[in-house]
Amino acid sequence: MKKQLKGAVLLAPLPVVMVSVGTNERSNIITVAWTGTVCSYPPRVYISVRKERYSYDILRGTGEFVINFTTDKLLAACDYCGIRSGRDIDKFDEMRFTRQPASYVSAPMIAESPINMECKVFDVINLGSHDMFLADVLAVHVDETLLNGDGAIDYSKANLVNYQHGEYYATGKHLGRFGFAAQRKYIAKYGKGKDAFAPAAPLVKRKNNGGNYKTKR
């Protein structure tokens, strides 16, 4: 039996990221969970931000931001940046984060975060409680220790955090690779459909695409 609930934004898991805004001189960090990918080519993402956030006017003014990924080690800082406002404190200083200049946008990157995405806003949509800032991803900076031999990001090494309705969870248990369930060898061993569950890692390893993310998704 299932219980029907009223409509609510219960989608999970979600990324939880630290978004840096402003300039080196006047920078701020806002924690955001309402974020995601909206287009592969051109690479486009969104963040949804409430008008009352201190970061909102800065975002409106510059039209630029950096998405800084959150690892388990950075979670406390990420949570703190989502509770306190840049109106009252300098979050870069208080978190002892290092401002690292970005290549294309005015907002500084958080040096301690291993993956940073430079984003330029191309549209803002008022949706209700939140405005959605749609942005082009101009560049991604990745800590070299997370890159495998082919130049692709090995997310299993990143210890990224996800967010599920008020709770933070670790990621990291690798369950399979894109397309594994359609591979002949997999189907031969585990079958197809809802009962084709492989308790361990994927059966067949495919060669990855060497950091060329032009796979169709």
Ligand X SMILES: Cc1cc2nc3c(=O)[nH]c(=O)nc-3n(C[C@H](O)[C@H](O)[C@H](O)COP(=O)(O)O)c2cc1C
Q: Shortest gap between Cβ of 27 and ligand X (angstroms)?
A: 11
97 contacts ligand X (rule: CB under 6 A) = no
Q: How far is the CB of 96 from ligand X (least distance, A)?
A: 17
* 99 contacts ligand X (rule: CB under 6 A): no
Which CB sits closer to ligand X, 34 or 97? 34
Say how many residues touch ligand X, by CB under 6 A. 22
Q: How far is the CB of 89 from ligand X (least distance, A)?
A: 8
Does position 163 interact with ligand X (CB under 6 A)? The reply is: yes
Return all residues near 17 (Cβ < 8 A) that are at least 6 apart.
Answer: 31, 32, 33, 35, 67, 68, 69, 70, 78
x/- map, 32-61, ligand X, by CB under 6 A: xxx-------------xxx--xxx------
| Residue (122 or 169) nearer to ligand X, CB | 169
Binds ligand X by CB under 6 A, chosen from 22, 27, 30, 117:
30
Query: Per CB under 6 A, does 86 bind ligand X?
Result: yes
Provide the binding-site residues for ligand X, judged by CB under 6 A. Answer: 16, 28, 30-34, 48-50, 53-55, 79, 82-87, 130, 163
